[in-house]
Amino acid sequence: MAKVRKLWELQLLEEQQEKQKLQIVDPSLVKQLKSLKQEIEVLQSQLKDLKSQYQRAKEEVNSLERAGVECKEKQGQLNEKIYDGSLQSKEIKNYQQRLAKLNEEFTSSEDKQLEVMQQREDIKGIWEEKKQQLTTITAQYKTLHENYLQQKEEIKTRATDLAREITELIQEIGTEELELFRQLQKKHRRPVGRVTKDTCSGCHLGISFDKIKQLKTPDGVVHCNHCGRLLLWDPV
């Protein structure tokens, strides 16, 4: 009976192994990770674009500043020319018109510079906001990913443990008994039936009195008189 009990234990372990092979990481966790990864990629793309926009705005501000300096220099030169007494009245009027036009250009350039500077600051603000979002979501992703890896490792560890337990148990089972178990397994997925009262757990049919009597003896292998499974006497 001890031999049959070991075969029963082997049957239970192999059933666990079958279920274990189907076990996967929590699908809702995988779904969350995919969603967060997409959000991270979108934010990274947005930050890259904002960085380019900020750089272009910065370069435009620098360009406008240089243009403003040049404009101021020209204004100074025209003012000096107008008031140094070297020009005739007609020439002064012409220079004054040039100066007025230059003043308009300078004012327009200053306004544009202020506008672009504001755009630059707005871009910086959006960038900082997106950066904070990325930091938060990345932290969430990291936590969930650690959970994912932990679940994956637990599944792998359990599979390894089951394989080891099965191997160790098989080494304890005799070759003849194991061969009989495998032969019966071709016909029945569960080749060992447990008998708690007078019924085979495999086919759920009643066991004959003679079989019950045989089961109560310490030695020998008993088969179900209906389905042919090996029987384990295991009264409640």
| Residue range 26-63, pLDDT digits in tens | 999 999 999 999 999 999 999 999 999 999 999 999 99
Q: Would you tell me the crossing angle of helices 175-185 and 2-22 to the nearest 10 degrees?
A: 50
| Residue range 197-209, pLDDT digits in tens | 889 999 999 999 9
Predicted confidence (pLDDT) at residue 1 exceeds the cutoff of 70: no
Cα separations (Å) of 207 from 58, 196, 210? 91, 11, 8
Statement to judge: residues 194 and 115 lie in one domain: no
Q: Is residue 15 domain-resident?
A: no
SS3 state of residue 192:
strand
Q: Rounding to the nearest 10 degrees, give the CA dihedral for residues 139, 140, 143, 149.
A: -110
CA–CA distance, 222 with 233 (Å, rounded to integer): 10
Statement to judge: residues 153 and 43 lie in one domain: yes
Q: Is residue 12 domain-resident?
A: no
Range of the domain at 221: 176-233
Q: Is residue 16 domain-resident?
A: no
| Residue range 91-127, pLDDT digits in tens | 888 888 888 988 888 888 899 999 999 999 999 999 9
CA–CA distance, 171 with 26 (Å, rounded to integer): 35
SS3 state of residue 107:
helix
Q: Is residue 102 domain-resident?
A: yes
Statement to judge: residues 114 and 64 lie in one domain: yes
- Other CB atoms closer than 10 Å to residue 30's CB: what's the count? 14
Tokens of residue 218, six digits: 């310490």
Q: Is residue 4 domain-resident?
A: no
Statement to judge: residues 30 and 77 lie in one domain: yes
Statement to judge: residues 160 and 196 lie in one domain: no
Number of structural domains in the chain:
2
| Residue range 75-85, pLDDT digits in tens | 888 888 887 87
* Boundary-marking domain end, from 153, 173, 193: 173
Q: Are 194 and 215 in contact (CB under 8 A)?
A: no
* Boundary-marking domain end, from 156, 173, 190: 173
> pLDDT class for 90, splitting at 50, 70, 90?
confident
Statement to judge: residues 136 and 227 lie in one domain: no
| Three-point CA angle 61, 72, 66, nearest 5° | 25
